[in-house]
Amino acid sequence: MAEKKKATGYDKYVNWKLLIIPVILFFLILILPAPKSMQKVGVQYQVGTQAVVGMITEDLFKTNPSDAEQWQLIAAEMMERNLRMGALSKVRFEKRNLKWAKKYKITSDKKNFERASSWVKENLTADAYSALMKRAFDLRMTQLDYEGLNASQKKAADTGTWRIKVSIAMMVFVVFCFLTECMPLPGVAFMIGMILVFTGVVKTGTITQLYWSDAAWFIMGSLMFATAFVKTGVDKRLCLMMFKKLATPNVKWITLIFFLVITPLAAFISDHALAAMFLPIGMLLYQNSLTDEIPEDKELAKLLMIAIAMACNIGGPGAPSGGARNVIMISYLNDMFRFDIGYFQWVTYCFPFLFVMIPLTWLLINMRFKPRIKSLAPAMGHLESEIGKMGKWNSKQIWAVIIFVVMVFGWFTEKAFYNAGIYPVRLGIGSIAVAGAVAYLLAGVVNWRDYQERVDWGVVWLYAGAICFGRMLDSSGAAYWLARSVVDALAPLGMDKGLPLMLTSNGLTAVLTNLMADGPAAAAVGPITLNMAGLVHPGTTYLPFMAMSTAIASSFAYCLIIGTPPNAIVYASGYLEPKDYLRVGIPVWVLANVVLILLTAVYWGVRGFGDLPGF
C-alpha cells in the first residue's frame, strides 16, 4: 500500500517571481486615494451606529444619548443591533433576551433589560416600530454625509475608509497567493494577521481572537477523530458496510453514492460533519485501490476527495437548516416586506435545485478527473481480508464508535437543546468535536503522538486564517462596498430589475461566498438587492424569489480551499492542490448559476408564490 503523501505545496519555498505581483498590488491599492463610495461606506460603518442610537434615543425619549438613562440607551442599542441584522419588525425585537444582548455586547443587567423591553412593547405599536426602524435605516444608508460630520466623526470615518482599503488590498493579495501557491498556504494564513496588525487595523491583542472560531475548532477536532478512526480500523469496517453490497464497485458508482447520501443530508445537518465523516472513507478507498502495477493514481485520489466536498457544498440550499445564509434571507424577507417562507415551503422551492445539481455535478467531476483505476473491487476484497485479520470488534474500536456516536448526536442537537433550555450554554459543534478528540485520549484510543503526526495542522491554521480574512471583509464593510459598487455600476445597463438583477445578485453573492463565510456573503448582498427588488417589483413573487436565490447562490463556494469547511477538510487528505478546486469549481460555479436562473424562470415562475402576482 502506498503511503499518503504530504499535502501538495508544503515542501515548496516562496516563489518571489510570483509573490512580488500581489505585494506590489497590495501597496498600490493602499496608496491610491479612496473613492467617494468607499468613504461613504466608511461613514456608515464607523459613524452609523452612533448616529442611529442617537436618533432613536431622541425620537423615543426626547433626550440625547449622553443624558439618557441606562435602560433607554439599552432599548436604543437593541433596536440598532436589530437594524444591522435586518430584523426590522417589532416581533423580532420582542423575541430578544438577555443572552442575546450579552452575545452582541450590549451591556445590561436583568432589571434594565426588562425595563427597556417592556417600554418598547407597551409604548410602540408594530407600525410605529417599523416606521422608526425604516427612518433609522434611511439615516444609516443614505443620509449620513462625510462633510456634515464633526471632527471626531470624520476621524472615525477616515479610520473606517482605511479599514476597507486594507481589506480590499488584503483580498487581492490573499486570493492571488491561494491561486498560485507562490508561498506555502499556511504562511498566507499568518500573513493575514500580520497585514492587519502592521496596518493598524487590528490591535495585537485582538488579532489572536480573530483567528479562532467554532468552525476552526471543528476542523481541528474532526481531523483528530478521523485519526482515531484510521488508527483503530473503524474506517475500514464502515467503508465495507457502505459499499460491499455494490454488484459493480466502479469508481463512478462509488462517487454517485457519495452524492446520493451526502447531498440530501447536507440540507438538514452540518456539511462540516458530513465531510469529516466521509473523509477517512474516501482516503481508505484510495489507499486500498493501489496495486504493484499502479502504485499511485493521483486522479483517483482527487476525484474521491472532490466528490465528498462538492456533495457537501451543493446540499445546503435544500432546507432552511442547511446553513445560516438561508435563515438570514428568510429573516430579511419577513422583516423588510412581511413575506414569510415556512420550512416546508422553502424545501418545496429549493430542493429541486439539489435534484438537478446531483447528476450534473457527478457527471462533471467524472469528466474532469480521469483515474487509471476504474474498479474498486480489489479495494473491497483487500478491506474484507484486513477486517478478517482483525477478528471481532476490540475495545478500542468500540470506544471509537461510541464516542463518535455521542459526538454526532451532539452536533445534531446542541442548538435545539440550547434553545430548549436543556443546555445552559451554547456548546457549538467545534467545542463538541474537540471534546470528542479529548475523549479519544481519555479512553486510550489514541495518544498525542497520533494527533501530532497524522493531523494536518497546516489546514487548521489555513482555515483559521480564512476565518480572520472573511471576518474583516464583513466587519470593515469591504464586502458591502464591493456589492454596492457592482450593483450601482450595472444599474445603468438595465441590470436593476427582473432576471438581470437576479443574475447580478446571484453572481455577486457567488463570488463573495468564495472569499468569506456564506452567511456574511448573503448578509452583504441581500439587503441591497432586496431593497432594489422592492422598488421595481413591489408586492410580487420577485421578492421571495430574490431572497431564495441569494441564499442558494451563497452556497456556491466551489473554487477555493477557504470557501467552505468541507473544502478545507478534504484538503487535509494531502491529495489536492488549489488548482484542483478551480478545475472543478469554475465549471460547477457557472453551471450552478445557470441552473438557478432556469429554476427561477421555469419552476418558480410557473409555480408562483402564494397569492402574489408574477413579476
Q: How confident is the model at residue 9 (pLDDT cuts 50, 70, 90)?
A: low
Question: Which residue would you say has higher pLDDT here, 24 or 377?
Answer: 24
In the prediction, which pLDDT does 510 show? Answer: 92
The pTM assigned to this predicted structure is 0.84
Residue 5 has pLDDT above 60, yes or no: no
Residue 43 has pLDDT above 90, yes or no: yes
User: Following CA atoms 240, 243, 246, 248 in sequence, which dihedral angle do they give, to the nearest 10 degrees?
Assistant: -90
In terms of phi and psi (left: phi > 0; alpha: psi -120 to 50; beta: otherwise), the region of 394 is: beta
pLDDT averaged over every residue in the chain:
87
Condensed to tens digits (0 to 9), the pLDDT of residues 11-39 reads 778 999 999 999 999 999 999 999 999 99
Q: How confident is the model at residue 246 (pLDDT cuts 50, 70, 90)?
A: low
Long-range contact pairs involving 288-294 (C-beta distance under 8 Å, separation at least 24):
288/1, 288/378, 288/379, 288/382, 288/383, 289/373, 289/376, 289/378, 289/379, 290/1, 290/2, 290/373, 291/378, 294/372, 294/373
In the prediction, which pLDDT does 6 show? Answer: 46
DSSP-based three-state secondary structure for 584: helix
Contact (Cβ atoms closer than 8 angstroms) between residue 553 and residue 506? yes
Residue 4 has pLDDT above 60, yes or no: no
Q: Average pLDDT, stretch 398-420? A: 85
Q: Which three cell numbers stand for residue 175?
A: 486570493
State the Cα–Cα distance between residues 168 and 172, nearest whole angstrom. Answer: 6
Q: Average pLDDT, stretch 331-344? A: 80
Residue 615 has pLDDT above 80, yes or no: no
Q: Average pLDDT, stretch 494-523? A: 87
Q: Average pLDDT, stretch 594-612? A: 88
Half-sphere exposure of 471 (CA within 13 A, CB side): 20
In the prediction, which pLDDT does 47 show? Answer: 92
Q: Which three cell numbers stand for residue 291?
A: 496495486
Q: Average pLDDT, stretch 360-372? A: 94
Q: How confident is the model at residue 212 (pLDDT cuts 50, 70, 90)?
A: confident
